[in-house]
Amino acid sequence: MRIIFAGTPEPAVVALEKLIASEHEVIAVITRPDARRGRGRTLHPSPVAVAAEKHGIEILKPKSLKLDTTDGQALYQRLTELQPAAIPVVAYGNLIPTKFLELPEHGWINLHFSLLPAWRGASPVQWAIHNGDKYTGATTFRIDEGLDTGLILQTLKTEIQPTDTSDDLLSRLAYSGADLLVETLDHLAAGTATFLPQEGQATYAPKISTADARIDWTQSAQQIDQAIRAFSPGPGAWTLWEEQRVKIGPVGILTTDPNNESSVVLPAASAPGTVHIGKNEVLVSTGSGQWLKLGQIQPPGKKMMAAADWARGLHDNAKDVTFQ
Residue 195 lies in a domain: no
Residue 245 lies in a domain: yes
CA distances 263 to 46, 252, 266, 279, Å, are 46, 11, 9, 17
Residue 196 lies in a domain: no
Q: How confident is the model at residue 312 (pLDDT cuts 50, 70, 90)?
A: confident
Domain endpoint, select from 167, 190, 213: 190
pLDDT score recorded for residue 269: 67
pTM of the full predicted structure?
Answer: 0.92
pLDDT score recorded for residue 35: 87
Does residue 258 carry a pLDDT above 70?
Answer: no
Tell me, yes or no, whether 156 and 225 share the same domain: no
User: Worst-scoring range by mean pLDDT, 3-7, 26-30, 110-114, 267-271?
Assistant: 267-271
Alpha helices by DSSP H, listed for the chain, are: 10-21, 47-54, 70-82, 98-101, 124-130, 166-190, 221-230, 307-312
Tell me, yes or no, whether 20 and 162 share the same domain: yes
Does residue 261 carry a pLDDT above 50?
Answer: no
Does residue 162 carry a pLDDT above 70?
Answer: yes
Pairing of strands 135-142, 251-253: unpaired
Tell me, yes or no, whether 100 and 180 share the same domain: yes
pLDDT score recorded for residue 218: 96
233 neighbors 165 (Cβ within 8 angstroms): yes
Helix (H, G, I), strand (E, B) or coil at 142: strand
Q: What percent of the chain has pLDDT over 90?
A: 81
Mean pLDDT of 105-109: 98
Does residue 80 carry a pLDDT above 90?
Answer: yes
Q: How confident is the model at residue 300 (pLDDT cuts 50, 70, 90)?
A: confident
Does residue 27 carry a pLDDT above 60?
Answer: yes
Does residue 320 carry a pLDDT above 80?
Answer: no
CATH number (domain holding residue 253): 3.10.25.10
pLDDT score recorded for residue 260: 47
Mean pLDDT of 289-318: 86
Tell me, yes or no, whether 51 and 174 share the same domain: yes
Mean pLDDT of 96-110: 97
The CA-based dihedral angle spanning residues 214, 284, 220, 306, taken in that order and rounded to the nearest 10 degrees: 60
Tell which wins on pLDDT, 320 or 91.
Answer: 91
Tell me, yes or no, whether 11 and 58 share the same domain: yes
Does residue 79 carry a pLDDT above 90?
Answer: yes
Half-sphere exposure of 302 (CA within 13 A, CB side): 17
Mean pLDDT of 283-309: 92
Helix (H, G, I), strand (E, B) or coil at 249: coil
Tell me, yes or no, whether 245 and 141 share the same domain: no
Tell me, yes or no, whether 254 and 308 share the same domain: yes
Does residue 57 carry a pLDDT above 90?
Answer: yes
Residue 312 lies in a domain: yes
Half-sphere exposure of 179 (CA within 13 A, CB side): 6
Mean pLDDT of 19-44: 90
Cα distance between residue 305 and residue 268, in whole Å: 27
Mean pLDDT of the chain: 92
Please provide residue 241's backbone torsions phi and psi, each rounded to the nearest 5 degrees: -135, 120
Residue 254 lies in a domain: yes
Mean pLDDT of 45-54: 97
Tell me, yes or no, whether 25 and 100 share the same domain: yes
Residue 117 lies in a domain: yes
Helix (H, G, I), strand (E, B) or coil at 221: helix
Find the radius of gyration of the CA atoms of the chain. 23
Does residue 318 carry a pLDDT above 60?
Answer: no
Does residue 23 carry a pLDDT above 80?
Answer: yes
132 neighbors 226 (Cβ within 8 angstroms): yes
pLDDT score recorded for residue 313: 79
Tell me, yes or no, whether 160 and 258 share the same domain: no
Cis, bond preceding 62 (omega within 30 deg of 0): no
Boundaries of domain holding 183: 2-190
pLDDT score recorded for residue 264: 56
Tell me, yes or no, whether 177 and 226 share the same domain: no
Mean pLDDT of 45-57: 97
Residue 198 lies in a domain: no
Q: What percent of the chain has pLDDT over 70?
A: 93
Sign of the C-alpha dihedral computed for residues 92, 97, 98 and 103 taken in this order: negative
CATH number (domain holding residue 9): 3.40.50.170
Among candidate residues 116, 109, 112, 113, the one with its CA nearest the CA of residue 199: 116
Tell me, yes or no, whether 176 and 226 share the same domain: no
pLDDT score recorded for residue 189: 98
Domain count, the chain: 2
Q: How confident is the model at residue 259 (pLDDT cuts 50, 70, 90)?
A: very low
Tell me, yes or no, whether 243 and 118 share the same domain: no
Q: How many CB atoms lie within 10 A of CB 221?
A: 22
pLDDT score recorded for residue 319: 61
Cα distance between residue 137 and residue 119, in whole Å: 11
Residue 86 lies in a domain: yes
Cα distance between residue 47 and residue 12, in whole Å: 8
Cα distance between residue 55 and residue 171, in whole Å: 22
Mean pLDDT of 169-182: 98
